[in-house]
A and B are shown apart, each in its own frame.
Chain A
Amino acid sequence: MTTATTTTGTILDAQALTKAFAGHSVLHGVDLQVHDGEFISVMGPSGSGKSTLLYNISGMDTMTSGDVSFAGQHLAELSQKQLARLRLTTMGFIFQHVHLLKNLCLLDNVVLPAYLAGLEPRETINERAMGLMERTGVAELAHRDVSEASGGQLQRVGICRALINRPRILFGDEPTGALDSTAASEIMDILGELSAEGTTIMLVTHDAGVAARTNRVLYMVDGRIVGDREQGRYTGEGLDQRHADVARWLLER
C-alpha cells in the first residue's frame, strides 16, 4: 500500500462531511481531498455511503454538516441556482443507468448541457459533440433514439454528455455496473484515456477490475473512509497484477 501523494493543486476539499437521512447517519465526518488530474475509485459494500459521498461533494445533495469546497468555492454558501451553474460548467456526471432523456435523440442529449450553459455558439457545440461521439465510437448513432442503442453505446453517449462542457472533474456512479464485461472494459479504456489527458475522475464502483485501472482507491465502510490507496497510473500493462493487488488490499480492510 502506498499513501496518497499530492500531484498538483487540490480541486476538491471535504472536511468533516456528514449526511443523515431521517435521523439515520449515512456519512460520519468524512475528510477527503481530490487533486487535479487524479483518477479515483470509491469502493465499499452496499450501503457504505459511496454514492451519498459522491452526490454530497458534487452539490447534488445537501450535506447535513461539514464543509466542501470545490475549486475554492464553499458549496454551503452557494444558492441552488449557483450550485446548478457550478455542476453545469465544471462537473460532468456518468450514471449507472445513463439517464438519457428519452424524448431527445442521442446527439441532442449530448449537446443539452452546453446549450443550457449557453457559453458558446451552437455550431461550435454541435461540432464538439460530434467530435466526442466520434472519439467514443458512437458518431453514427447521433440521430438515433435512446431506444435504438445498446447499453454500452448509451454509456458512451453518457460520457460525451458529461464531457461536453469540458468539466474540471468527472463523477461516475457505477458507470460500468449495468454493462457486460466487454462493454465495461471499453468504457474504462475511454476513461483511462481521458485521465491520461489530465481529466480528474472520481468513480463509485463495486468492481475491483475497474478500481485496478484507477490511480487511487478509497474504501468506505458504514459512512467512513477506512482505506485510501495510491497505486500509480495504469499504463495498459499488468492489469491482472493491479487487480490482484487491489483485491488483496480490499481483503485486508
Chain B
Amino acid sequence: MAKGITPRTDSVRSPNALDATTGSPEAGPVPAGRRRQGGDLYRRMVARDFDANRSVTVLLVVLMMLSVLLAVASAGTLVRLTGAAGNLMTQADAPHVVQLHAGDYDQSAVDRWAGERPDVVAQQTMLMLGIDGANLFFDDVPQTTNIQQNALVVPNTERDLLLDLDNQPITDVAPGTIVLPVIYQVEAGLEVGGTVRITAEDGFEKEFTIAGFARDSIMNPAITSSKRLAVSAADLEEVRAHTGSVEHLISFWLADPDAQTGEFEKAYQDSDLPQAGQLVDSAAFRMFTMIGDGLVAAVVILVAVLLLGVGLLCLRFSFLTAAEQDYREIGVLKAIGVAPRDVKRIYLTKYALLAGLASVLGLLGGWALTPLLTRSITRYMGSAPSVGNWLIPILAALVVFAMLVLFVVVLLRRLDKVSAVTALSAGATGRQSSASRLRLHRSRMPVHLRLGIMDVVGRLTTYLLLFLVFVISTFIMIVPVNSATTANALEFINYMGTGAVDLRIDLRYTDDTSADQFARALDRLSADPDAATITPMVTTRNDTVDKDGNTISLYVENGDHALLPPLYAEGRAPTDSSEIALSLLALNQAGRQVGDTLPVEVGGQTRDLSIVGSYQDITNGGKTAKASLTTDADDVMWYMIGVELAPGADPTDKAAEYTDRLAPAKVADIEQWRIQTLGPIAGQIAITAGASAIVAVALAMLMTALFTRMLLARDAGPIAVQRAIGADDSGLRGQYLTRILLVLVGGVIVGTLAANTLGEGLFNLMFEAMFGGFETLGQGTSRIDFAVNPLLAYVALPAALIGAVAAAAVASSRSISATSISTLTTE
C-alpha cells in the first residue's frame, strides 16, 4: 500500500530535525546552558518557518491585525462616546428633569412646590422664544422645511449651560450676534460670520451675525426636535416684541437622580404645575445623544467579533497545515526524546510572536481609525481627555491577544496525540483523506468541475472554515445595508406610529385658542380641493397603569384610525371608544397582550378599554396609543392633521402654502419629516453599511487568498500527480476555482438567509435597546421588517462578493504552476 506522497518541503526541512537533536536531545528538564542553546534553535526554526510560508504568515497576521484593530477602534469609540457624553452633561450641568411648557407660566407656584420637596436641589426656568421657520433665515435661506423647533434663548450662567466648541460655557452673547446649535454647522454647513435673519408679519427684520456654535447637553441631536439659539437679552426682547411664541423650559436638579427621577416625575404630573408640553429626563437625553454613534460602535463591535471568529478559525487552519507539514519532524523530535512540552514551545513561540505582532499593529491601526469613527462624537460633544481613552483600547487589544494565544495552547494539545512511530511511518501526511462518495466515472460534468465538487464534498470539514467566512462576509455585508435601506425607506414612516400621508400638520396645544386654530385649519383644508383626504388626530395625555400597578401617563392619539393606519404588528385599528391600540413599547410597559383590557382614565373616569392591536412607534419615547376617546381640552397635548393630496398637487408647494395659511401650525412634507428626524441616524447607518461591505469583501478576498495558498500547499502531491498524467495548469486552476466558488455560493445563500432572519432580529434588538433601554431587550417591542432592496441585496452585493472572491482565487491559484512534478521523483 502506498504510504502517501512526500512533499518536497520534507526534504528541505529535514535538516531542522537534525538541528533539533543538538538543541534538546533528551526528554525531561533541560539544563540552563542547553535551554539557551535550545532557545536559539527554536528562534532559528521559527525564522525558517516564516521564510518558508511567507505569504500564508503575512495573511494570517493581517487577519489577526484586523480583528485587533476593530476591537481597539470599537472599544475606543465606546469609551470616547460615553466619556464625551458624560463630560458634556457634567460640564453643562445638565438638568435631571425638564418640563416644556407652552402658555401662561407662574414661577412662584413652581418655587413653592419645589421648595417643599427635599429631593429638589435646584430649579431653573428658561424662556424660549420659538421662531417660526417662515420667519427664520440662515444665510438668506428660509427655514420652512426645517422640522426643528428653533427658539431664541438668553444663555444660562450657572446651570444647564450651552458650551462652545472647547466645551467652555457660553454665558454672554454680544448684541447683534447669535450662537447656533452645532448641528447647523455640521449638517447645514453654516460658518462663523454667516447671517441669521428673523422677520415678522409686521415688517420687522433683525439680522444677526453668527458668532459661534454651541453644544447643547439636552437638545444636541437631530431627533431632539427643539433647538436653542443663543442671543443677548436685549435682542431677545426686541424680537419678542414682534414675533415668536413663548415657551418655558422648567428644569429641575435632583439630589439622587437615579433613584428619585421616577417618583419626582409622577409627583410633578399629579400636581397643578404647568405641563403643556413634554416631560423629559436625563436618561432620555443621554439615549438621544448616544443613539447614532452607539449604532456605529455596535456595528463595528459586531464586525470585530465576527472577524475574531474568522481569525481563530484561520489560526486553526494555519496551525493544522503547519503541523501536517511538520508531522514527520514532530515524530523525529519525539523519537529522539525531546519532551512534548518543548515541541509545543516551537509552535507556541511562532504563533505568540505572530499574534503579538498583529496586536501591536492592530492597536496602532485602531488608534488611527478611532478619530475617524468618533468625528461626529467630537463635533457634537467634544472630547473628554481621560486615561480610559487609551487604557480601554489597550485592554481590548490584550484581550484579543490573550484569546489568540489561549486558542493556540488548546490547539497544541493535538500534538500530544502524535506518536513517534505513527508520525514517522505515516510520512508527511498524517491524515488519511478518504474517497468522496461521488464517482467521477458516473458523471457527465466537465472533469475539473466534477473533481472540484468531489473534493468539496469529500473534505467538508476542510472547507468549513471558508464556508463560515463567506457566510459571515455575506452577513456583515447585507445586514448593515438592509438596515440602511430600511431606515431610508419611505415605508419606515409606518414604524413611526403613523400611516403614510403626503403632509403632516402639527399644532401644539398652548391655550384655549389652540382648539380654535385647529378647527380653523380643518375648515381651510376642507375648502381646498387639493387636500383629498383629511385625517384629524387629537393627542391627549391619559393616565393608565404599568405592569406593576403604578400610575403612568400615556399619549393617546384619538381620531379615525381607519384613515391613517400605521402598520399593525398584531391586531387592527380601534374602531370605537371602547377599544385601544398600543405601541409595542407601551404594550410591554403595560405587561399586557392584544386581547387584554387596559384601565385608562378618560374624562376623570377609569374605563377598561380592550386592546385590539399593536404597532411599532419610535416617536415620543415610543410609548403611545391609538383610540377614539372623547378629547377633553384639559388633556390635549397636540393636534395633528394628516393630509393626502389630490393627484398632481406637489407636496413641497402645498407644504409651503399651508405653512403660510395655517400658522402657527407646523407643516411638514412627510418625506421631509422622516428625512430630518431619522436622516442623520440613517446617514450614519449608511456610511457604516458602506464601510462594513468593504470590510466584508476585503475579508472574503483575504481569506480566499490565504485558504487557496494553504490548500495548494497541502495538495502539492495530488497536483503533481495530475500534472504528471497530463492535466494542464488552466484545468487544475479550474478545479480550485470550482471548489472556492461552490463553497462561496453555499456561503452566500446561507449568509443571505441568515441576514434576513437573524440579521433582522439583530436590527430589531438594536431598536429595542435604543428606544426601550436594556430591560426591553428581546421582549419583542420592535418588529421592523427589513425593507430590502432586492437588486442591491440579492444581486449586486453577492455579485460583487463573488467577483472579488473569484479574482482572489484566480490570482492565488497562479502559484499552481510552481508545483513541480519532481515532487514525485524517487531520487
Contact = CB atoms under 8 A, between A and B. Distances in A.
B432 A102 contact: yes
B435 A93 contact: no
Contact of B725 (A52, A88, A150): A88
B459 interface: yes
A122 B821 contact: no
A4 interface: no
B725 A116 contact: yes
A32 interface: no
Contacts of B729: 80-81, 84
Interface string B773-814: 000000000000000000000000000000000000000000
A108 B441 contact: yes
A99 B717 contact: yes
B440 A154 contact: no
A161 B3 contact: no
A126 interface: yes
B824 interface: yes
A174 B726 contact: no
A97 B730 CA distance: 26
A108 B826 contact: no
B728 A101 contact: no
Contact of A52 (B435, B440, B825): B825
A15 interface: no
Contacts of B440: 104, 108, 111-112, 115
Nearest to B3: A97
Contact of A103 (B6, B458, B726, B820): B458
User: Among A112, A145, A147, which residue has the most Cβ atoms of chain B within 10 A?
Assistant: A112
Nearest to B444: A122
B441 A122 contact: yes
Interface in A142-199: 143, 145-147, 149-151, 154, 161, 173-174, 177-178
A126 B826 contact: no
A99 B728 contact: no
Contacts of A129: 441
A129 B721 CA distance: 19
B721 A99 contact: yes
B117 interface: no
Interface in A109-144: 111-113, 115-118, 122, 125-126, 129, 143
Contacts of B1: 147, 149-151, 154
A44 B722 CA distance: 28
Contact of B441 (A89, A95, A111): A111
Nearest to B721: A99
A59 to B, nearest CB: 10
Contacts of A95: 724, 824, 826
A103 B441 contact: no
Interface residues of B, number: 42
B435 A102 contact: yes
A93 B724 contact: yes
A173 to B, nearest CB: 6
Contact of A97 (B5, B433, B458): B5
A117 B432 CA distance: 29
A160 to B, nearest CB: 12
Nearest to B431: A102
Given A52-B825, A108-B440, A151-B2, A84 B723 contact: yes
B728 A105 contact: no
Contacts, number: 138
B131 interface: no
A147 B727 contact: no
B210 to A, nearest CB: 72
B436 to A, nearest CB: 5
Contacts of A93: 724-725
A161 B454 CA distance: 19
Contacts of A151: 1-2
Interface in B413-461: 432-436, 439-441, 444, 447, 454-455, 458-459
B447 A103 contact: no
A113 B826 contact: no
Given A113-B725, A116-B726, A103 B731 contact: no
A72 B123 CA distance: 105
A55 interface: yes
A126 B439 CA distance: 12
A94 B270 CA distance: 97
User: Among A51, A101, A173, which residue has the most Cβ atoms of chain B within 10 A?
Assistant: A101
B10 to A, nearest CB: 13
B722 A101 contact: yes
Interface in B693-732: 717-718, 720-731
A96 interface: yes
B827 A52 contact: yes
A76 interface: no
B824 A107 contact: no
Nearest to B717: A99
Nearest to A98: B2
A145 B444 contact: no
B719 to A, nearest CB: 10
B197 to A, nearest CB: 77
A132 B730 CA distance: 29
Contacts of A84: 723, 726-729
A73 interface: no
A117 B731 CA distance: 11
Contacts of A115: 440, 447
A19 B32 CA distance: 49
Contact of B724 (A50, A87, A103, A105): A87
B718 A101 contact: yes
B822 interface: yes
6 interchain residue pairs of minimum CB distance: A88-B726, A108-B440, A84-B728, A145-B435, A87-B726, A51-B827
Given A102-B432, A118-B447, 14 more contacts: A55-B825, A60-B723, A80-B728, A80-B729, A85-B726, A85-B728, A95-B826, A97-B2, A102-B435, A116-B731, A145-B435, A147-B1, A151-B2, A174-B826
10 contacts: A55-B822, A61-B821, A61-B822, A85-B726, A88-B725, A96-B826, A101-B718, A101-B722, A116-B725, A149-B1
